[in-house]
Structure 1
Amino acid sequence: MTGLLDGSVGDLVAAVLAGEVDPAELVQAAAARIEARDPGVGAVVLLDPDRALRRLRRGRRPAGPLAGLPYLVKDLHAEVDGLPLTRGSRLFAGLPPAGTSTLVARLEAAGALVIGRTSSPEFGLNISTEPVLYGATRNPWDPRRSAGGSSGGAAAAVAAGMVPAAHASDSGGSIRIPAAWCGLIGFKPTRGRNPAGPYRVDDWGGLSHEHAITRTVADSALLLAVTAGPALGEPYGVPADRAHPHPLTVGVLVDTPSGDPVAPAYRRAVDECAAALAALGHRLVPLPAVSAAGRLGPVLGTVIAGHVAAMVDDLARATGRQAGPDTVEPAVLDLIERGRRADAVTQVRATLELRRLAGELAAALAAVDLVLTPTTACPAPRLGELHTDRSAAELFQQIFTISPFVGMFNVTGGPAVSLPWGLDDDAMPVGLQLAGHPGADHTVLGVAADLERRHPDRVRLRRP
């Protein structure tokens, strides 16, 4: 039975629906795995299997498309009744949840059994998961290295075999980066494809999207089929998923807008994957560095600062808790203070500039159906390298150097997936990104599934 925790969501659900395994036993097995494995990983910040067991006792045997799936929800964004949401911050520790988000409610209605929360850096503002509140999340491939962020806990939990999939969110690569560094599938849907509400209205000006980190492309598609769809009050509509004729035109992008280097192993992986796509019949064309992507940093910083400052000031009004050196990490406090200093005109101008840059990015990629890039420019850094004991500007500069390819698709709102493509010279996973225009979710997932099927040795990695 415990072998089901090492496989796919689809296989686990099939066993539950066939009556071969009891969902309560799966919940208990996953909890036992977490208790045994997490002390060396630091992926799970809250474990509550009794919540899921109570749900099973109250209702009938799960029968939906996720029947019996033990599931972990990220400690950011998604509210879950009964599970505190700290956002990786001492400032929010111990506060009760507001309720259950629409996305989590859909997962539970489909049979998923939420058993806890995974770690996130404070407010999701780092691409390494090392919050002061909980400590570092270690990469199961090499515990000296980062598991990525901000969905580092989710990726580490799946890579370490605790659960077959986990909830994740992505405001600038936060699903794709940890998936890449932990050798997993990380898909960010089109903006608005998954609901964010009702408690989260519009985080970071439409940059933030929720979905999952999985072991297979099919599992990501299965979870998306359960959660996607309109909901009352959601601010963004979703373009129809355009039918792309075969073959597709795939743009190959390996140069950074800043001119910073990309690791040679990552360039080789892009070349190999491009050859694999050509063998599938697709047309490959080189793309120059996208200059608009190099201008995102200051604009994103202003937009994010305003949203974070508003969040913590709302908390202060509601609870009296104040952001300060004892409750918030230095880079995050610096960002909050920047947001407080900005006036309404500054915020509006930044939001308008973000929309203009989205148009530039879309125009630069308009001639291709998909874009192939490395997910990051280099392998997972050592723990401690992406520290928050400095200014927000210094932290963000390092983040953009390491990760120059992913944020542009949060700005355009288009779907993007990170999938593994073998190992580098240090036996660490290499992640490649496939991204598309808004609405092209099924096209992106379909091509990723083709690559996974044709090249399982490159895509379906197994941790040693």
Structure 2
Amino acid sequence: MRVDEYADRDATELAALIRSGEVTAAEVQDAAAAAIDAVAPALNALVQPRFAEPLAHDADGPFGGVPFAIKDLILHAEGVVQRAGTRLLGDGVPMPSDTHLMARFRRAGLATAAVTATPELGFNASTESVATGAVHNPWDVSRSPGGSSGGSGALVAARGVPVAHANDGGGSIRIPAAACGLVGLKPSRGRTSPGPDYADPLLGLGVEFALTRTVRDCAGLLDAVHGAEPGDRYLLPDPARPFVDEVAAGSRPLRIALCTTPLSGTGVTDPQCVAAVEAVARVLEGMGHTVEEASPGVDPATFDDANLVAWTSFLADAVDGLAALLGVVPGPEHLEATSLACVEHGRTLTAGDLYAADRVFNAATRTVAAFHRTHDLLLTPTTNAPNTVLGHLDADDASLGARGWYDRIFASAGFTALANVTGNPAVSLPLGRSVEGWPIGVQLMAPYAAESTLLALAGDLERALPWAAHRPAVVAG
């Protein structure tokens, strides 16, 4: 299989070709290795050399033999070094076992070929760190691929692999999807297992899944890996039919709320992002859906105060736990300046602060649930602007305290964090294009556990506004 033939195909088609015997898994994986090697120097998306051979996987899984990559954060694979984007872990620590989702990725047949970059401990909307450097957006290497799953986003967009692991605590799947022109689904809380290391990562904000180029890959992968493991806190009902069937069938008529004012943060929305969402709204109306301007009505300032508590307490707990195990006192030689500031802020918080934040999250969740009684979906931009220039979100900026860093991040990512707090599923689709030719992400958020509704409409939009022919400047093949 030539690299250009490989790069033209999504994971679903590659799996079908392998099953039919038209190509072998080894031929596909050789093409992937060449594709990764071709784009890696321009992107800096990998944090360690590509594996000489893919990690063990079930060749009979639904994606048997399809190349894959895992992000260097939270999810981990037995024997694979994890660094989490931080100098605190030195050159990284070999992981003693698979997380539950990693085991499911293996059973799905995904052939893990590489580990992708993350910013330090995942708290950045850009993927750049002192430990591993900046990842470059394949559409324009002077721009950020988003964060914190920007390494995966850049590699998938450049067609090194068709699908890659990602996780999302405030937009970290959807922001790279928007910046890199991909499909980025943050599933409902509990739809994928965070175990065994976590029950509710980031006080429930964190969710694990993937980035893909097509809606059918997103749906098919969710079919393959969703579900609870023993000890998980949530047990969601199975979908009435497979998610891939929902994509093929399309959507019923929906009532959709349109909002272009950021739901959190202090930023404003770029006119190009507003125009992209409004254009999608007109397409949806042409499909027979009802679209009207409306917002859930969550107060951004109160929301941000609580979200800051969640993030800084999580970072303080993670850093202090690792430091104790390593026998070090975290300092500037271990952590970036804003990470240290967030850790120091997190250490000042009390149990009362955490309970107060939880009350805000509960109120926001119930407000959004009531909103969804009258609106099936919420339509927004994914990000405040198509992307950001590398260096703007510099986590080693010593002039920024914890709140200053939080505000800097969410000034460019004011639409994504609400779904993390409420647990609702949300997807970013590459439905717009900037004057520079960059992709613009459009986000749809559904009620809790309503991925079927979300993916059915996403399939319709992919057919109405196809993006498969759009290719970045750095691309394999």
Report the more deviating stretch, 102-111 or 118-127. Answer: 102-111
* Residue identity opposite 2:471 in structure 1: R
Partner of residue 401 from structure 1, selected from 394, 406, 411: 411
* Residue identity opposite 2:38 in structure 1: A
Matched residue, 2:271: 264
Matched residue, 2:144: 146
1:311 aligned counterpart, secondary structure: helix
Shift of 1:28: 2.9
Matched residue, 1:419: 429
2:291 aligned counterpart, secondary structure: strand
Distance across 2 between alignment mates of 1:98 and 1:299: 34
Distance across 2 between alignment mates of 1:256 and 1:452: 25
Matched residue, 2:31: 29
Shift of 1:283: 1.0
Q: Deviations over 1:376-435 (max 9, x none)?
A: 111211100011113221121122221111111111111110001131111111110011
Please tell me whether the aligned partners of residues 239 and 438 of structure 1 are also in contact (alpha carbons under 8 angstroms).
Answer: no
Shift of 1:126: 0.2
* Residue identity opposite 1:462 in structure 2: R
Matched residue, 2:103: 105
Matched residue, 2:305: 298
Distance across 1 between alignment mates of 2:31 and 2:79: 21
Distance across 1 between alignment mates of 2:256 and 2:45: 35
Q: Deviations over 1:224-264 (max 9, x none)?
A: 01110111111223266589983111111112357843212
Ranges in structure 2 where 5+ consecutive residues have no aligned partner: none
Matched residue, 1:131: 129
Matched residue, 2:376: 369
Q: Deviations over 1:104-161 (max 9, x none)?
A: 1111112111122110011110000001110000000000000000000011001111
Matched residue, 1:234: 232
Matched residue, 1:69: 66
Shift of 1:13: 0.4
Distance across 2 between alignment mates of 1:239 and 1:394: 40
Distance across 2 between alignment mates of 1:8 and 1:295: 42
Shift of 1:367: 1.6
Distance across 1 between alignment mates of 2:296 and 2:453: 24
Partner of residue 455 from structure 1, selected from 465, 469, 472: 465
Report the more deviating stretch, 234-243 or 302-311. Answer: 234-243
1:116-265 aligned within 5 A: 116-238=114-236, 246-257=252-263, 260-265=267-272
Distance across 2 between alignment mates of 1:323 and 1:250: 47
Structure 1 residue runs of 4+, over 4 Å off?
239-245, 257-260
Please tell me whether the aligned partners of residues 296 and 367 of structure 2 are also in contact (alpha carbons under 8 angstroms).
Answer: no
Please tell me whether the aligned partners of residues 266 and 410 of structure 2 are also in contact (alpha carbons under 8 angstroms).
Answer: no
Shift of 1:285: 1.4
Report the more deviating stretch, 342-351 or 441-450. Answer: 342-351
Q: 1:155 to 1:14 in 2, by over 3 A?
A: same
Shift of 1:35: 2.3
Distance across 1 between alignment mates of 2:237 and 2:328: 41
Partner of residue 385 from structure 1, selected from 367, 370, 392: 392
Please tell me whether the aligned partners of residues 227 and 235 of structure 2 are also in contact (alpha carbons under 8 angstroms).
Answer: no
Matched residue, 2:88: 91
Matched residue, 2:454: 444
Distance across 2 between alignment mates of 1:155 and 1:316: 30
1:463 aligned counterpart, secondary structure: coil
Please tell me whether the aligned partners of residues 84 and 119 of structure 2 are also in contact (alpha carbons under 8 angstroms).
Answer: yes
Q: How many residues align?
A: 458
* Residue identity opposite 2:47 in structure 1: V
Distance across 1 between alignment mates of 2:440 and 2:322: 40
Matched residue, 1:8: 10
Q: Deviations over 1:265-294 (max 9, x none)?
A: 211111111111112111111114734344
* Residue identity opposite 1:279 in structure 2: G
Say what the alpha-carbon RMSD is for the aligned residues. Answer: 2.0
1:347 aligned counterpart, secondary structure: helix
2:93 aligned counterpart, secondary structure: coil
Please tell me whether the aligned partners of residues 170 and 209 of structure 1 are also in contact (alpha carbons under 8 angstroms).
Answer: yes
Please tell me whether the aligned partners of residues 420 and 429 of structure 1 are also in contact (alpha carbons under 8 angstroms).
Answer: yes
Distance across 2 between alignment mates of 1:433 and 1:143: 24
Matched residue, 2:348: 341
Identity across matched positions, percent: 38
Please tell me whether the aligned partners of residues 168 and 213 of structure 1 are also in contact (alpha carbons under 8 angstroms).
Answer: yes
Distance across 1 between alignment mates of 2:162 and 2:445: 24
Matched residue, 2:47: 45
Q: Deviations over 1:350-396 (max 9, x none)?
A: 22322222223333444200011000111211100011113221121
Matched residue, 1:329: 336
Q: 1:253 to 1:460 in 2, by over 3 A?
A: farther
Shift of 1:349: 2.2
TM-score by length of 2: 0.91
Please tell me whether the aligned partners of residues 425 and 447 of structure 2 are also in contact (alpha carbons under 8 angstroms).
Answer: yes
Please tell me whether the aligned partners of residues 144 and 387 of structure 2 are also in contact (alpha carbons under 8 angstroms).
Answer: yes
Please tell me whether the aligned partners of residues 34 and 44 of structure 1 are also in contact (alpha carbons under 8 angstroms).
Answer: no
Greater relative contact order (Cα < 8 A, sep 6+):
2
Q: Deviations over 1:269-321 (max 9, x none)?
A: 11111111112111111114734344321111112211221122222232213
